[in-house]
Chain A
Amino acid sequence: MARKSSSLLGLANGVSHQLFHPVPDSAPPYPAKRHTKISVVGAGNVGMAIAQTILTQHLVDELALVDRKADMLRGEMLDLQHAAAFLPHTRILSSTELDVTAGSDICIITAGVRQMPGETRLNLFQRNLALFKQIVPPVARHSPDALLLVVSNPVDVLAYIAWKLSGFPSNRVIGSGTNLDSSRLRFQLAQRLQVNAQDVQAYMVGEHGDGSIALWSSISVGGVPIGLGHLANGKKTAEAAEELEEIRKSVVDGAYEVIYLKGYTSWAIGYSVADLVRSLVRDLHRVHPVSLLAKGSYGIPEDREVFLSLPAKLGSSGVLGVANLELTEEEEKRLRSSADTLWEMQQQLDLKVKS
């Protein structure tokens, strides 16, 4: 049990029992059975936005933060602790050592190296792989029953890497994937239709980023499917496809625009991951597009062990199942093509972990 901050200041011990007394014949107190612990590895802008949103939404009893930069980490922890009077009774810990994550229900990994100017994609992956080799095995060891939620980019490959390095069953490792992209798409559609974004059902799937796929065939609003005819205003197929592609690109570019303007994104990914956490922790069985082991889904061959985003039911044991949507041939083709590309790239990575 961590030393109380106040005992360092010379405050009397054992005062608590003078203020409160137990009811006669009580059993001694035991810790709450439903104790949710979440660890966030990486206390940068993304990690802290996630941590703070999780706290504000009362999703956690114990929150552990890990980062390499000790000073910044401690500052962030104190800043959250100082809000104690405004938050539910949450224990907030931090350490540069991963053992502080022990016993977590969910471990969220936001740590990642930044792409250097001119760096090849492969080189970036190798560096991230090296980082994950330091992070994932200890995290898995300290919380052998946890769910792993990878947010660092490129999320699909890193989720795959985390899965391999952890040794966890595939249902317990997911990437934040296209959950946020889908949110951006739903926001745009909702504005146009003057409805609440939560009533717009629209998925972006596949590879998070430039190669994501908008499932135009599966959009519905308040339960009413929107056909492609509505979407493209009666235009001919080729033109319609082009215009829909513009919408998709504007969703993908939304992230780049925010990064360009303010230097990074934080708030939206914070809410997005907190939303996933809620479904996982509360066993909500809600459907979210997240990056998961996609082989065997939608015609992706069994030997392609890649992670891609697909709409999946989430609960306390992670991925409960992948939704069986009706995809068009084109959409399935694109998914398989993404799988091929990722697979080829993953082959070039050296996943052996030193024991």
Chain B
Amino acid sequence: MYRTNKLKRDADLEGFCWSAASPYPPFRLPSPIESIRSDLVPQTMQKVSSLSELGFADDVHRALFRPIHQAAPPSPTSRRTKISVIGAGNVGMAIAQTILTQDLTDELALVDAKPDKLRGEMLDLQHAAAFLPRTRILASTDYAVTADSDLCIITAGARQIPGETRIDLLQRNLTLFKEIVPPLARHSPSALLLVVSNPVDVLTYIAWKLSGFPPNRVIGSGTNLDSSRFRFLLADHLEVNAQDVQAYMVGEHGDSSVALWSSISVGGVPVLGQLASDDNKAAVVMEQGVLERIRKAVVDSAYEVIRLKGYTSWAIGYSVASLARSLLRDQHRIHPISLLAAGFYGIPSDRKVFLSLPAQLGRSGVLTVANVHLTDEEAARLRHSAATLWELQQKLDV
């Protein structure tokens, strides 16, 4: 019966060939899962360390290609971008696959606790090599595979057990992050950390504390996706491209997020007051009922997808790939993401909480926070979220 023990180191790092000296029995399928010919049970599969064991001439590549005279031996490329994704579930894999398709990295490392699933996912990506740019794809249950990453994306997280309190869920996630973050930080001391796992704001705070990194290098995906959903709704209604709609949701990701109505613009044109159904524009700057309904629709849309298909994946994949691009290509673009919000909008400087605000992102992480206009109401909501999160964080043993 096929068994997976801890992968051998070189097999991990190369990722696509098992060592010939492996202690595993030869691979044999338990039952034909998708065989076309049930009369032809797949034969024993030998794992080989290289094609030379299969009869491929060792120096055939030398016969095909010749270096020019006096060439220096090839040096390892010094500018290689490496991204690590922790957690090879639906979210992690959608992120990994979108990053690959968009050609954002030279090296991609996957880490998960389940070695079989992890290896399967890695192989599935590698098999697309003929259709992708030459990206090295590695996978291991050992964090050493993440060494020297430019960006580490954490999607691993405990699922809420029915009836579990929020604080208990957080405690479990804290325990998990204590296993994940310190080795990650140790292996890539200069990396950017991007937390996606929920509840993202608290977990980003936890990741920051556990990593010892400066706060500009630790961010959470926050309301980047909520803002995308918000922009989708507005763009669909206004019949414009969603990329031309500027609209932010900020604050705590989830039920208490804050929609910044005063900052919406389309192609540079502010749309404040134009979205209410009431024709009396002078009197109706913002009709609370309608706006709140839109905000709830955005928040609920995540729950709706989860209810319908069991989880969300594609949208968060694109969202995080977009963040990865801005960070690694030093784009100086503005995204609403979860960052250390202490000192902004009246949040006391000693309240070390992470909340989403529109921030300029680049190679060194958070460059600046955009000075968007918040109404008194919106700032008050932010401060309220900060207070709630702060109290919650006090109860955790970080």
Query: Is the CB of A138 closer than 8 A to any CB of chain B?
Result: no
Q: Which of B122-130, B163-171, B383-391 contacts A (4 or more CB under 8 A)?
A: B122-130
A16 touching B63, Cβ below 8 Å: no
Question: Which chain A residues lie closer than 8 Å to B98 at the CB level?
Answer: 52, 56
Q: In the complex, A4 Cα to B42 Cα: how many Å?
A: 51
Question: Which chain A residues lie closer than 8 Å to B43 at the CB level?
Answer: 249
Question: Which chain B residues lie closer than 8 Å to A192 at the CB level?
Answer: 50-52, 56, 60-61
Give how many A residues have a beta carbon under 8 Å from the other chain's beta carbons.
Answer: 105
Question: Which chain B residues lie closer than 8 Å to A253 at the CB level?
Answer: 27, 42, 45
B237 touching A6, Cβ below 8 Å: yes
CB distance from A182 to the nearest CB of B (A): 7
B121 touching A197, Cβ below 8 Å: no
Query: Is the CB of B368 closer than 8 A to any CB of chain A?
Result: no
Q: Which of A7, A53, A182, A267 has its CB near the most chain B CB atoms (within 10 A)?
A: A267
CB distance from B114 to the nearest CB of A (A): 9
> Known contacts A16-B238, A210-B36, A257-B45; is A79 also within 8 Å of B274 by CB?
no
Q: In the complex, A270 Cα to B2 Cα: how many Å?
A: 27
Within 8 A of B (CB), among A271-290: 271-272, 274-275
The contact of B129 among A4, A83, A187, A249, by CB within 8 Å, is: A187
Interface residues of B (CB under 8 A from A): 2, 16, 27, 29-40, 42-43, 45-46, 48, 50-52, 54-58, 60-61, 63-65, 93-94, 97-98, 101-102, 116-117, 119-121, 123-132, 134, 225, 227-229, 231-243, 245, 266-267, 269, 271, 274-277, 279, 290, 293-294, 297, 301, 304-310, 312-315, 317-319, 321-322
> Known contacts A11-B277, A15-B237, A274-B131; is A231 also within 8 Å of B232 by CB?
no
A18 touching B308, Cβ below 8 Å: no
Question: Which chain B residues lie closer than 8 Å to A262 at the CB level?
Answer: 116-117, 120-121, 124
Within 8 A of B (CB), among A161-197: 180, 182-184, 186-197
B34 touching A226, Cβ below 8 Å: no
Q: List 28 A-B contacts (CB under 8 A).
A: A9-B294, A12-B277, A15-B237, A15-B271, A15-B274, A15-B275, A19-B267, A53-B101, A56-B318, A74-B309, A79-B309, A80-B315, A192-B56, A195-B61, A197-B129, A200-B130, A210-B36, A233-B52, A243-B55, A244-B54, A247-B56, A249-B43, A255-B34, A256-B34, A258-B124, A262-B120, A267-B121, A274-B131
Q: Which of B46, B125, B130, B233 has its CB near the most chain A CB atoms (within 10 A)?
A: B130
Query: Is the CB of A30 closer than 8 A to any CB of chain B?
Result: no
Interface residues of A (CB under 8 A from B): 4-7, 9-12, 15-16, 18-20, 48-49, 52-53, 56-57, 71-72, 74-76, 78-89, 115, 117, 119-121, 153-154, 180, 182-184, 186-198, 200, 207-211, 221-222, 224, 226, 230-235, 239-240, 243-244, 246-247, 249-250, 252-263, 265-268, 270-272, 274-275
Question: Which chain B residues lie closer than 8 Å to A16 at the CB level?
Answer: 238-240
CB distance from B322 to the nearest CB of A (A): 5
Q: Quick one: closest B residue to A276, CB to CB?
A: B131
CB distance from B326 to the nearest CB of A (A): 11
> Known contacts A20-B267, A193-B60, A234-B57; is A5 also within 8 Å of B120 by CB?
no
The contact of B276 among A12, A197, A231, by CB within 8 Å, is: A12
> Known contacts A10-B290, A230-B57, A233-B57; is A84 also within 8 Å of B242 by CB?
yes
A249 touching B45, Cβ below 8 Å: yes
Question: Which chain A residues lie closer than 8 Å to B61 at the CB level?
Answer: 192-195
A56 touching B102, Cβ below 8 Å: yes
Question: Which chain A residues lie closer than 8 Å to B225 at the CB level?
Answer: 82
CB distance from B198 to the nearest CB of A (A): 16
Question: Which chain B residues lie closer than 8 Å to A207 at the CB level?
Answer: 36
B267 touching A254, Cβ below 8 Å: no
CB distance from A265 to the nearest CB of B (A): 5
Question: Which chain B residues lie closer than 8 Å to A231 at the CB level?
Answer: 55-57, 60
A235 touching B305, Cβ below 8 Å: no
B290 touching A84, Cβ below 8 Å: no
B131 touching A275, Cβ below 8 Å: yes
Q: In the complex, A18 Cα to B94 Cα: how many Å?
A: 38
CB distance from A62 to the nearest CB of B (A): 14
B269 touching A19, Cβ below 8 Å: yes
Q: Quick one: closest A residue to B57, CB to CB?
A: A233
B54 touching A243, Cβ below 8 Å: yes
Q: Which 8 A/B pairs are nearest by Cβ-Cβ distance?
A: A261-B120, A75-B308, A75-B309, A243-B55, A262-B120, A6-B237, A82-B315, A268-B127
